[in-house]
Amino acid sequence: MAKGKFPDAEQRLFQRVFVCRACGAKLRADPPKVKSGKVKCRKCHKRELRPIHKDKK
C-alpha cells in the first residue's frame, strides 16, 4: 500500500491491530493494554501479541 495515499484505509488496516505470535490471529486492541498484558488472543488465549507488519510493496 502506498504511503499516504489513503490515510483512512491505512488507519483502519494498521492502527491498533495486533497479531498473535502463536496462532496468527488478528485482533484490535489498545496498545497500553497489550503492553501491560491485559489482552489475550481469542483463539489460543495467549498474551503474546505483536503489532501487525505493514506491506513492503
**Residues 17-42: pLDDT tens digits?**
999 999 999 999 999 999 999 999 99
Cβ atoms within 10 Å of 49's Cβ, excluding its own: 23
pLDDT at 57: 57
Range of the domain at 39: 19-57
Residue 45 lies in a domain: yes
Cβ partners under 8 Å of residue 47, min gap 6: 37, 39, 40, 41
Residue 53 lies in a domain: yes
pTM, entire model: 0.82
Total tally of structural domains belonging to the chain: 1
The 3-class secondary structure across 25-39, one letter per residue, is CEEECCHHHHHHCCC
Residue 4 lies in a domain: no
Residue 8 lies in a domain: no
Residue 54 lies in a domain: yes
Residue 7 lies in a domain: no
Residue 34 lies in a domain: yes
pLDDT at 3: 66
